[in-house]
Structure 1
């Protein structure tokens, strides 16, 4: 059987790896429109900030494909899917037949329809990153348009390089999809203290050589303009081939489209009315699709999202229904704006359905477990916000953490799995990452993994 994968980003490359782990003989061809080896898009903000180089965000070693008998075609965009002939056609005329096809085409940056938009640089790909860094070397001031996750990470990264940065955002507070108004305010004050000038409730009317003109006529000066205005699923191939497309390519619980030979996963896929824009759901979907493609049984039932901001000196985690008020749920909150700290729990029917942790996030391990499992909460609500006062198990302590505790949300890796691979000989973080993929997603679990490995080594009296 011949498997063709269109898209070699975080979803497509994971799918290929998952398939090959299950079936060493299946014929696999993967097409990537970018010339780069697959890389971790989540960590591009680290490249922008200078804390990681391009090689450090690579997902697979270049030799992996040959070693695992996978045909990888880079820099070759698939422009048509002929479902009747079960063939994909590339821009250079190559025709490749398939028995099973996976669309992992991801998303593309939204470019607002304003005059001069071509003067700005979107922040989406590794090529975009290089363009921004090249422009930043000769720029005197930067403007970032968009105050969501990517915009904040871009602004913080550029400010960390010593470039004055103004962040423009249309909504009244930052990250309005994940945060309530007070959390957005505290986050804005934190970023201001790190050198980012925050302007919310403003609309860009035009992009000029000298900056961004707002709807009220004001000019926000900047000779580098970065766009982080969101993304939209890339669905053209599916739509042109007659597949059902709403916001994304419509799939069932097996990640199949209405054509049983065609699957879709990642940011281009719409499951049960939802298009997920984070890495963990994409990798969960890849695992399900790989199992089905190789003859197994698996169902995708949706994902519980935990958003982590990856910006130096800014700790933020948000999960679930953060916008609910006291009218619809039990809400427990603590705010200390002078320290940039905001914590909020949203509880319904005795279970955690949402949380925001900004600033010191020592409670994030415990709360993520409670949110992910959906189990009943202890009566000590304040103890959940401040683990040092709590009688519940704290996830940050390797000694007390149960083996079932999930350490790496992106890859669903538990403490027990880390312990098992350590006992099998993986005695450092790199070896654990190779065996379990922990730390290879958003990277925020690295400290926890290091702590567990260090603790295990300490118990046996060996050096980590």
Structure 2
């Protein structure tokens, strides 16, 4: 069975490694539109903020392909799919036959069709990040267009480099997909204290030499303009090949399209009406598709999302159905704007179905476990928002954390799996990461993994 993978980003690269882990002999060819090795796009905001180097983002070394007998065609975009003869064709005339094909084409940044937009820099790829950093070095002020997750991270990163930043957002509050209006307001006030001015409910009409012209005629000054206006699934290849496409490439529980020899995963795929834009679902899909491709029986049932903002001095976690109101669910809130704190629980049928934690996130461990497991919520709702020493220990202490608790959400790694690989010889965080991939996604679980490893070492008298 010849496997061809179109796309060598976070979804495609993971799919290839998952297949190779299950079948060392299957012929595999992967096409990547970018020239270099696959990298962790989630951590681009860390590069922008100066907290990571570009060379620290690589997912695998290029030598990995040769070592694992994977043929990688980098910088060679696939132009069309011939479903009748089962082959993909590149723009430069290359033809690659397949028995099974996986589309992991990802998404592209949305660029608003406004005058002068070519002066702005989208924030999507490593090359984009490099351009932004170089331009920022000679800039006096920056404007970021788009106040979703990526836009907030970009604005905070540029402010951390000492640039005054104005963040423009069309919606009425920041991160409206994950946050309710009050949480968006508190987030904006938190960013203001860090050097980011937020303007919501405004529309960019043009990008000019001196900044962004708003629809009402006002000029927001800035000699660096960054676009973070969202992304759009790349579905052109699939649509031109006659596959079913709605918002994304439609797939079933095996991640197959309506052509059983073609799969789709990651940001280009639409499963049960949902297109996921985060890395954890893409990696879950990669594991399921790899299992099916190599003869397994796995099925994908959707993903439970926990969004973590990666911005220095801003702690934010959001999960599930955060927009439900008191008419449809039990909603428990606490807001202290002066301290930049907002906490919200959404409970339905005595189950936690959503939560927002902004500011101190000491409750995130307990809430994430409740959300993941879908178990009944304790009667003391206030105790969930403000965990005392006992409940905090249950969530955060390696001693009391159950083995089933998910520690790394990007890679779906539990405490029990970390314990097992430690017992198998991985005695430090690097070893655990190599064995389980924990910490290699967004990186927010690193402290928890280090705590578990340190506790295990202490229990056995092993030097940490």
Does structure 2 retain, via aligned residues, the 8 Å contact 1:383–1:389? Answer: no
Q: What is the Cα deviation at residue 389 of structure 1?
A: 5.8
Q: What is the Cα deviation at residue 391 of structure 1?
A: 4.8
Q: Cα RMSD (Å) of the superposition?
A: 1.0
Match of 1:159 in 2: 159
| Of 391-400 and 373-382, the range deviating more from structure 2 | 391-400
Does structure 2 retain, via aligned residues, the 8 Å contact 1:107–1:233? Answer: yes
Equivalent residues in 2 for 1:382-461, closer than 5 Å = 382-388=382-388, 391=391, 394-461=394-461
Match of 1:72 in 2: 72
Runs (4 or more) in structure 1 with deviation over 4 Å come to 389-393
Determine if the alignment matches structure 1 residue 292 to structure 2 residue 288.
no
- Distance between the aligned counterparts of 2:136 and 2:213, measured in 1? 20
- Distance between the aligned counterparts of 2:391 and 2:165, measured in 1? 44
List per-residue Cα deviations over 1:400-451 (Å, max 9, x = no partner): 1011111001111010111111111111111100000000111111110011
- Distance between the aligned counterparts of 2:36 and 2:339, measured in 1? 41
Does structure 1 retain, via aligned residues, the 8 Å contact 2:179–2:356? Answer: yes
Match of 1:88 in 2: 88
- Distance between the aligned counterparts of 2:421 and 2:288, measured in 1? 23
List per-residue Cα deviations over 1:23-82 (Å, max 9, x = no partner): 000000000001121001111000111111111111112211111110111111101111
| Of 386-395 and 412-421, the range deviating more from structure 2 | 386-395
Match of 1:248 in 2: 248
| Of 420-429 and 454-463, the range deviating more from structure 2 | 454-463
- Distance between the aligned counterparts of 1:374 and 1:394, measured in 2? 17
Determine if the alignment matches structure 1 residue 208 to structure 2 residue 208.
yes
Query: Paired residues, what number?
Result: 464
Q: What is the Cα deviation at residue 366 of structure 1?
A: 1.2
TM-score (norm 2): 0.99
Does structure 2 retain, via aligned residues, the 8 Å contact 1:164–1:195? Answer: yes
- Distance between the aligned counterparts of 2:173 and 2:378, measured in 1? 32
Match of 1:179 in 2: 179
Q: What is the Cα deviation at residue 10 of structure 1?
A: 0.5
- Distance between the aligned counterparts of 2:447 and 2:391, measured in 1? 23
Does structure 1 retain, via aligned residues, the 8 Å contact 2:366–2:391? Answer: no
Does structure 2 retain, via aligned residues, the 8 Å contact 1:247–1:270? Answer: yes
Determine if the alignment matches structure 1 residue 261 to structure 2 residue 261.
yes
Equivalent residues in 2 for 1:2-401, closer than 5 Å = 2-388=2-388, 391=391, 394-401=394-401
Q: What is the Cα deviation at residue 261 of structure 1?
A: 0.5
Does structure 2 retain, via aligned residues, the 8 Å contact 1:14–1:286? Answer: yes
- Distance between the aligned counterparts of 1:389 and 1:424, measured in 2? 32
Does structure 2 retain, via aligned residues, the 8 Å contact 1:384–1:390? Answer: no
- Distance between the aligned counterparts of 2:39 and 2:196, measured in 1? 28
- Distance between the aligned counterparts of 2:64 and 2:223, measured in 1? 41
- Distance between the aligned counterparts of 2:63 and 2:301, measured in 1? 34
Does structure 2 retain, via aligned residues, the 8 Å contact 1:366–1:393? Answer: no
Does structure 2 retain, via aligned residues, the 8 Å contact 1:378–1:392? Answer: no
Unaligned runs of 5+ in 2: none
Q: What is the Cα deviation at residue 296 of structure 1?
A: 1.0
